Structure 1
Amino acid sequence: MSPIKILQIFTVLNKGGAETNLMNYYRNMDRSQFQIDFLVHRETGFFEQELIKSGSKIFRLPPILPWKLKEYKKAVKTFFEEHNDYDIIHGQCSELGVFIYEEAKKRGIPVIIAHAHNAKMDRDKKLLFRLMWKKRMRKSINAYFTCGKEAAENLFGKNLARHSYQMNNAIEVEDFQFNQEVREKKRKELQAEETINLVNIGRFNTQKNQSFLLEVFAELIKRNKKYKLFLVGQGELESQLREKAKQLKIEQDVAFLGLRNDVPELLQAMDLFLFPSLHEGFSVAFVEAQTTDIKAVISDGVPTESILIPENVTVIPLKNSAQQWAEKIAEIHNFERKNVAALIKEKGYDIKENAQKLEKKYKELVKQYKKNPYVISS
């Protein structure tokens, strides 16, 4: 029996939340049953070499720009003229996949999935177009995937959200379970054995709100010189963040670690996970952090449904000042960490179990829509 052919749609295959989540599933699926390829909109990303070595193909489109839509649509049409044998299109870039969904529907591809990742939309130069595309795309998709309830309602509307399949942002739980020896070794490696280590993981962009985090950290340093901040990630605002750290005179206490392969060990070494995001869907990084049993301070822009261990999490409103955030963070002191792997698995975030569920869902969708393709009306 031929494998089910799936085309995953991404902007770029870097270490963002959606990409990391998909890679977790990819590594745990039976790829003798599934051929998984990728259609991306930028140059080479972090995960591409691994994917190619594993037998996946990677195709490229130009970026989707409102002022170059004619060129973009032509590229999409050309792609499907050459590659029209997929069983499933799985769009991981929300409403930005609208023209891919439309062309795939014209070509008779059985299953067209849009995947909701964010509970709110970025207020960028594409906002008005995104709002139009969000409604328009619903006519061309017949499967609705999400990381959580709020993200589903944002992308699909409340009616269609009720039909959505929750593809949990699951992780390799054993990789992140707390280990004191790993903690001590990594703290020594980071030269952070005597400091109170704070960490933020995420792309350096407006949504993740690291600029405000630097202001909070500057207030913390006034209270206690032992604090140190580690920022894990990359992004378009990195140079601005580095400059702001200099302006606040905290650059000696802020470490920009870039993209990392040792996130499980880094989280072991930390004392607090800080997450002041303006909005989230269901963050993979936050699931990973909670699995290490670390204390976390998050904004009210992070959905409450993503809080898996409530006693470890402090929620602070985004409207509060940097000083108020610092006061709350300063109240959190040393605590004993334990192995919470069993609890995280019980909550439903173990990747092995979830990968099996996704395999089953893909098969069900192909069986259903090859016989009777339809779109649930809004």
Structure 2
Amino acid sequence: MRVLHAVMTLDPGGVERWLLEITRRLDPAVIRFDFAVATGEGGAYAEELSRLGSRIFFLRAGRDPFRLALRLRRVLREAGPYDAVHAHLHHVGGIVLAVAERAAIPLRIAHSHLDTSPIDRRGGPLRRLYRTSTRKMIDRHATHRIAVSAIAARSLYGPDWEQDPRVRILPCGLDFERFRALPSPDVPRRRLGLPLDALVFGTVGRLEEQKNHLFLLDVFALLRERRPEARLVLVGHGSFEARLRRRAAELGLGETVLFTGARSDVPEILAAMDVFLFPSLFEGLGLAPIEAQAAGLPCLLSEAVPAEVRVFPERTRVLPLDARLWADEALSLLDLPRLSPEAAVARIEESPFAMRRHLRDLLSIYGVASPDPIPRRAA
């Protein structure tokens, strides 16, 4: 079976990393993933996906829906036939699936990974027209609809999504093997240049407006007033980095904020932290706090993060975006003992985020009989 995934980019992000993890575990004799990338060339995951046997088509369409449609149609005509097209582009997925139906692709999947309602509410008449049109296209052309959470389903498929038999909630599966034997905090702290006796707060995510790092810097400034030994670790990269660095300097935080960039050793960096902070403005799910819980960390989340991510509700706090409240709660979470990697992973492997369970459910949507594809590692 051949599946073409339509994505915005192949740079590090929750959707992209999830797709890479899935591709690593597929037997290409049974099912193969290819990728149509809306943006230009490159992407941190492109090379490995190519080594794993995936074909990658860079459409160079940006956010131009007409260019996207024309170039996707050419890919389907010249590189097909495909058995399925799986769209991960939220509203733009309607255009992708319309092109796929015209190309006689039998399985056409819309996949909602985000709750964009905060953006949608701010939009004007053109945004509303665009949203209404693309929703109608999804309704007309999708054979299946998937969402990572109930709030993501509502965002893309509307308030009556539960009445549609085509809609299925399918949380992303993750690989927790690397969390089973994490080092003690001292090991990654030495490697990162952090004081061994520091109180380390941190987050993982693209440095973009959605992740709300500016608020996090305000919280951390309050934490530093009360605990001067505190450090903040920001894992990820993005267009907001220069702005965040300027803000950190304005707040006098200096070298107490560590920007690591995009990293492949996220589990080990999580092991260096004491508390995980995730103040997103909107989310469809949020894979980073799931991994933080697998690392045994207590988590502080914004109200925008779906409840489904709280695998350890007794170690998770949810607050409105008030910097003083966050600073108080972050310090109180330090009183919770760190869970051992073995205990954390054992519990999280029983959750819907376990990779084996997720693979079985995902393959059933594609109609692939094998519930246990041959595990693969990076090429």
* Common fold by TM > 0.5: yes
Q: What SS does structure 2 have at the residue aligned with 1:139? A: helix
1:364 offset after TM fit, Å? 5.9
Contact 2:24 2:52 in 1 (8 A): no
Bigger mean CA offset, 333-342 vs 213-222: 333-342
Identity over aligned pairs, percent: 30
Match of 2:188 in 1: 186
**Separation in 1 of the partners of 2:316 and 2:250?**
30
Q: What SS does structure 2 have at the residue aligned with 1:38? A: strand
Match of 1:375 in 2: none
Choose which of 55, 67, 78 in structure 2 pairs with 1:82.
78
Q: What SS does structure 2 have at the residue aligned with 1:228? A: strand
**Separation in 2 of the partners of 1:203 and 1:51?**
21
Choose which of 339, 342, 346 in structure 1 pairs with 2:346.
342
Choose which of 2, 9, 12 in structure 1 pairs with 2:9.
12
**Separation in 2 of the partners of 1:135 and 1:225?**
54
Match of 1:37 in 2: 34
Match of 1:355 in 2: 359
1:64 offset after TM fit, Å? 4.2
Q: What SS does structure 2 have at the residue aligned with 1:340? A: helix
- Amino acid of the residue matched to residue 105 of structure 1? E
Cα distance per residue 1:201-225 (max 9 Å; x no partner): 1111111101111111111111111
- Seen in structure 2, the aligned counterparts of structure 1 residues 304 and 70 have a Cα distance that, compared at 3 Å, is closer
1:271 offset after TM fit, Å? 0.4
The gaps in structure 2 that reach 5 residues or longer are 370-379
TM-score (norm 1): 0.89
Cα distance per residue 1:350-377 (max 9 Å; x no partner): 2123213322321169xxxxxxxxxxxx
Q: What SS does structure 1 have at the residue aligned with 2:160? A: helix
**Separation in 2 of the partners of 1:5 and 1:191?**
46
Choose which of 20, 24, 37 in structure 2 pairs with 1:23.
20
The alignment yields a C-alpha RMSD, in angstroms, of 2.0
**Separation in 1 of the partners of 2:76 and 2:350?**
42
- Seen in structure 2, the aligned counterparts of structure 1 residues 8 and 69 have a Cα distance that, compared at 3 Å, is closer
Q: What SS does structure 2 have at the residue aligned with 1:347? A: coil
Match of 2:376 in 1: none
1:154 offset after TM fit, Å? 1.3
Aligned length: 357
Contact 2:111 2:145 in 1 (8 A): yes
Structure 1 runs of 4+ off > 6 angstroms? none
Q: Does 2:260 align with 1:250?
A: no
Choose which of 112, 115, 134 in structure 2 pairs with 1:116.
112
**Separation in 2 of the partners of 1:69 and 1:52?**
26
Contact 1:293 1:312 in 2 (8 A): no
Bigger mean CA offset, 28-37 vs 166-175: 166-175
**Separation in 2 of the partners of 1:46 and 1:30?**
23
Choose which of 190, 200, 203 in structure 2 pairs with 1:200.
203
- Amino acid of the residue matched to residue 232 of structure 2? L
- The 5 A counterparts of 1:221-232 are 221-232=224-235
Match of 1:63 in 2: 61
Q: What SS does structure 2 have at the residue aligned with 1:138? A: helix
- Amino acid of the residue matched to residue 87 of structure 1? D
Q: What SS does structure 1 have at the residue aligned with 2:158? A: helix
1:160 offset after TM fit, Å? 3.7
- Seen in structure 2, the aligned counterparts of structure 1 residues 188 and 351 have a Cα distance that, compared at 3 Å, is same
- Seen in structure 2, the aligned counterparts of structure 1 residues 160 and 105 have a Cα distance that, compared at 3 Å, is farther
Match of 1:374 in 2: none
- Amino acid of the residue matched to residue 328 of structure 2? E
Contact 1:200 1:274 in 2 (8 A): yes
Cα distance per residue 1:65-94 (max 9 Å; x no partner): 3xx544443323333332341100011111
Q: Does 2:146 align with 1:145?
A: yes
- Amino acid of the residue matched to residue 211 of structure 2? K
Contact 2:172 2:353 in 1 (8 A): yes
1:189 offset after TM fit, Å? 1.5
- Amino acid of the residue matched to residue 244 of structure 2? L
- Amino acid of the residue matched to residue 63 of structure 1? A
1:11 offset after TM fit, Å? 0.3
TM-score (norm 2): 0.88
- Amino acid of the residue matched to residue 39 of structure 1? A
Choose which of 42, 45, 48 in structure 2 pairs with 1:47.
45
**Separation in 2 of the partners of 1:316 and 1:178?**
31
Match of 2:377 in 1: none
Contact 2:297 2:338 in 1 (8 A): no
- Seen in structure 2, the aligned counterparts of structure 1 residues 101 and 349 have a Cα distance that, compared at 3 Å, is same
Contact 2:86 2:111 in 1 (8 A): yes
Q: What SS does structure 2 have at the residue aligned with 1:331? A: helix
- Amino acid of the residue matched to residue 47 of structure 2? Q
Contact 1:122 1:207 in 2 (8 A): no
1:118 offset after TM fit, Å? 1.1
1:333 offset after TM fit, Å? 2.1
Contact 1:297 1:315 in 2 (8 A): yes
